[in-house]
Amino acid sequence: MNPFHYSYPVTVHFSEAVARESLAGELSKYGKNILLAYGGGSVKRVGIYDEIIAVLNEAGKNVFEFTGIMPNPTYAKVQEGARLAVSNNIDFILAVGGGSVIDCCKIVSAQAKLDEDIWDFEYAQHKTPTKSIPMGAVVTAFGTGAEMNNGAVITNEDKKMKSPLWGAFYDFAVLDVNYTMTMPMKQVISGSFDTLSHCMETYFGTPRETNLSDEINEAVMRNVIKNMRATLKNPDDKLVRSELIWASAMGENGILKLGKITDFQCHMLEHQLGAYTDCNHGQGLAVIHPVLYRHIYQNAPAQFAKFAHNVWGIPKNDKTDEELALAGIEALADFIKETGLPTKFSEMGITDIDYRAIAESTIITGGCCKKMSADELLAILEECK
């Protein structure tokens, strides 16, 4: 493993019906002015909003609402939230939702403490913010693990870029199983595949010799696969749901990445696809992953062979590493079909877009077993049509 330094700032409250008690305890640590951030109307329809407002009122907080955060949060929305935070002297941000709400608030909290444009600050000046408004997250839709880190994916519509920005870590995250039980099954499955994608993109980074981080990762991937199948059979099983929630957190809480240089080339490509189409993130990943892996497995055949054997349970028999690797990729592709995820962009309603522009604007990652060119990324996109 590579050398590393590890510390982890996010306090996690994980249980069934844990939200009210944990929020009441946490909110006493912060000032009176609270920015309550959420997306559409689902938190109100299912009663989560009422419960959280009751806790905030009991704590004597002044509540200001930041609503309408979209599934792929835009940079304009970030700036709207930052203006709200500054004008209302916000002491604390409470993000209630999935990865989009949680990501958006990370950058809101940093932008509100920064006197200049955070996109230029990070991309032109190559700096990261050091001040932010404290935050807490209540997870209602899982898969991204966004509550576990300080990275966010934001769509800058003016620049036609869906790219990472770095903001603040959450002080705490509430993972209440009950709050996720009303997620539509398509969202459960696409979010869970995003978890699996995070794990795979970490696993196929470097180093590739056997190490503890990868062995833990293999266990998490097996767990996600098993519980995606189980939740399709019984969507009301809270034990299964809790396993998927914690797997999502494990995928992004840093443990699987210790001593690793990660890949995330598939994520970068899908992000740019999302910048041009506003598509569902987990579904886009499901289409791209097998195609991308068929292009690169020969650059790390032993690692892909381990993935096939240790994650998918494919026997080695007399197979070469290359044969075993391909069998693992086909097992992944078959699993995607089994869970009802799309296998082509056309199944997502994506038909007439500028694939070359997407490929040429995609960030090329350094941890991938093969450093891709824009032409190679274009070929992958063309195969995904």
- CA contacts within 13 A on the Cβ side of 348: 27
CA end-to-end distance (rounded Å), the chain: 38
For residue 156, pLDDT beyond 90: yes
pLDDT of residue 293: 97
**DSSP letter for each residue of 120-189:** HHHHTS---------EEEEESS-SS-GGGSSEEEEEETTTTEEEEEE----SEEEEEGGGGTTS-HHHHH
What is the pTM assigned to this prediction?
A: 0.95
Identify whether the C-beta of residue 360 lies closer than 8 Å to the C-beta of residue 374: yes
* 65: three-class secondary structure by DSSP: strand
Which residues lie across from 139 on neighbouring strands? 97
Please state which of the ranges 95-109, 314-328, 365-379 shows the lowest mean pLDDT. Answer: 365-379
Mean pLDDT, rounded, for 75-103: 98
Beta bridge partners, 332, equal none
> Could you give the CA distance from residue 177 to residue 197 in angstroms, rounded to a whole number?
22
* Token duo for residue 72: 């792929």
Determine the pLDDT at residue 40.
86
In order, the DSSP letters of 204-215 are: TSB--S--HHHH
Pairwise CA distance, residues 310 & 141, whole Å:
29
Domain boundaries, the chain: 11-180, 203-384
Question: CA-based angle 191:330:271, to the nearest 5?
Answer: 40
Residue 308 has a pLDDT of 98
Query: What 3-state class would DSSP assign to 315?
Result: coil
CB atoms inside a 10 Å sphere around CB 183: 20
Alpha-carbon gap, residue 326 to 169, rounded angstroms:
38
pLDDT digit string, tens, across residues 220-236: 999 999 999 999 999 99
The pLDDT of 297-320, averaged and rounded, is 97
Residues with Cβ within 8 Å of residue 219, at least 6 apart in sequence = none
H or E stretch including 354? none
Give residue-wise pLDDT tens across range 142-154.
999 999 999 999 9
Of all residues in the chain, the percent with pLDDT exceeding 70 is 99
Where does 11-180 sit in CATH, by number?
3.40.50.1970
- Here the tokens at position 89 are 């002297």
Which residues pair with residue 13 across a beta bridge?
A: 174
Q: What is the rounded average pLDDT of the residues 289-300?
A: 97
Q: Which fold has domain 203-384?
A: Dehydroquinate synthase-like, alpha domain (1.20.1090)
Residue 123: per-residue pLDDT: 97
